[in-house]
Structure 1
């Protein structure tokens, strides 16, 4: 893990997180069925939890990108610059960084959907989770997260790396290649895993006070049952909206993920270009020879 890769990953994470955080908040509120009219609350409320996100996402994302790049380079002699390498490297990166991602996601989601003054405070949420659920409360959805994001990363990196190598965009500048590859990767992977991500998000916020308040309304009559587990959440989504309910918040999620990914990868590729991509003829046999 070299300092240039680390610095590039940190910079790309912070910039994209700050720019796109309001869009992420809107997407989380849609996904967890706690959304409010966009202009009914002040802009600063859409940045609730941004400090937690930056502090925790930055090291998690730095670990993720550094692990991916290092894994990809380490596997070149065995797998070459191939889709199998991208899948394996993305899997290793996801497993390594998930220990940091999950607690951050739990806290961030609770802050983003909060409506009471207490739930808007980080320390209150930390105490509530610690007292009521213990350490496992910070890892709600951890196993499901791995089940979702391992295939997500496999698709994301496979599409991203292969689109970059397509003849149709080979003559474009690096920023243009990065932008097109990022958009294609996000659209393909998000479309695949959004239903599972929706279930995971609802599970992670199921014990929050905001969800409890929603559960007492006619709109959210089933929400109190979300705490029973993933199978119950799936049943609730079907009862609320049918199959289309599993894609609730998909458009807001794309509106957040596309610019976020574009900014992240553009900054990262600019500060730390992929050395393995300079020679398109690199194969496992080349390294072994």
Structure 2
């Protein structure tokens, strides 16, 4: 286990979450159609769930980034520092960490759309999910999450790595990472937002907050197909699938910029150089044997 990478991923998660959490809350409320006028509630409302979210999500991000780095290092000798490596490493990291991610996403989303202090309580949400849906409730939208995030991660890491390569060589590695994070996030969010919106709506469909919205939103709990039909009917030409896209970009872009800049600052990515160095050494040893 690469301790430096593990610690750097923790720092990245904590820094970005502390700074950008209110924007994430607004984005979740947009996607779930539970948003309220921004200044109609106290600022602290937008930090509801920050502590449990930080405590719970940070280990998941650490696992994810560490597995990506290790997968990339293992794949480079076979596929080189190429798009194939980025796609496979990103997919591996998502598959390995998604079992941890899904329950955290379900809980975090419910905390962020809550409209009362009771609904915003971590313990109350845990009890409610367990009482009404059991263990399956914590994995609500798990398969849909894989459908969303496997392509999302493939696109994200491919764009990120190529953008870093294209950045001026005289830039600090943290600046290259910040640029890569921005471009990768804008690209992947725009491509995958409709699927992410459906997933979010389905994960929060059984909450009391959504119940108060009423109408067709009550039918979201019946299944993903019903969510898709409801979203399609909310705006002409299927534009409902891009509801909250602006809010998502406003949150995700600076969050990604901060997290990747911090991550690469504390743990610069040298996997390609190390793999190349290792292959050259192996080649030298082969020549000596000959």
Aligned match of 2:286: none
Residue matched to 1:232:
226
Query: What is the SS of the residue equivalent to 2:235?
Result: helix
CA distance in 2, matches of 1:157, 1:287: 28
Partner of 1:116: 116
- Per the TM alignment, residue 285 of structure 1 is displaced from its structure 2 partner at its CA by 7.1
Q: How big is each residue's C-alpha offset from its partner over 1:131-152, in whole Å with a ceiling of 9 and x where there is no partner?
A: 1100010000010101110110
- Inter-partner Cα distance in structure 2 for 1:185 and 1:284: 29
Equivalent position SS for 1:222 = helix
From 267, 274, 285, the counterpart of 1:272: 267
CA 1:286–1:91 in structure 2 vs 1: closer, same or farther (change >3 Å)? Answer: farther
Does the CA contact (< 8 Å) of 2:73 and 2:272 recur in 1? Answer: no
Distance 1:117 1:71, change over 3 A: same
Scaled by the length of structure 2, the TM-score of the pair is: 0.93
Contiguous gaps of at least 5 residues in structure 1: 216-220
Instruction: State the distance in 1 between where 2:159 and 2:278 align.
Output: 20
What corresponds to 1:177 in structure 2? 176
Supply the distance in 2 between the matched residues of 1:12 and 1:172 (Cα, whole angstroms).
Answer: 20
Q: Which residue of 2 aligns with 1:57?
A: 57
What is residue 12 of structure 1 aligned with on the other side?
A: 12
Q: What stretches of structure 1 move > 6 A for 4+ residues in a row?
A: none
Separation (CA, whole Å) in 2 of partners of 1:199 and 1:65:
25
Offset at 1:174? 1.9
- 1:164 matched to 2:158? The reply is no
In the TM superposition, residue 109 of structure 1 has moved relative to its aligned partner by 0.7
Moved more, 174-183 or 206-215: 174-183
Aligned residue runs from structure 1 range 205-284, under 5 A? 205-215=204-214, 221-242=215-236, 243-278=238-273, 282=276
Equivalent runs, 1:181-196 vs 2, <5 Å = 181-196=180-195
**Cα distance 1:189–1:284, how it changes in 2: closer, same or farther (>3 A)?**
farther
- 8 Å CA contact 2:161–2:180 kept in 1: the answer is yes
Question: Per-residue CA shift, 1:194-241, capped at 9, x if unaligned?
Answer: 0000000000000000000011xxxxx210110111111111011112
Mapped contact 2:173–2:268 kept (Cα < 8 A): no
Q: Which residue matches 1:103?
A: 103
What are the within-5 Å matches in structure 2 for residues 28-47 of structure 1? 28-47=28-47
Three-state SS of the structure 1 residue aligned to 2:161 is: helix
SS in structure 1 of the partner of residue 36 of structure 2: coil
Gaps of 5+ in 2: 284-290
Distance 1:66 1:131 in 2: 35
Counterpart of 2:24 in structure 1 is 24
Measured in 2, the distance between the counterparts of 1:132 and 1:226 equals 16
TM-score (norm 1): 0.93
Mean Cα deviation higher: 24-33 or 100-109: 100-109
Q: 8 Å contact 1:76–1:283 — kept in the other structure?
A: no
- Measure the CA separation in 1 of the matches of 2:281 and 2:141: 40
Aligned residues: 282
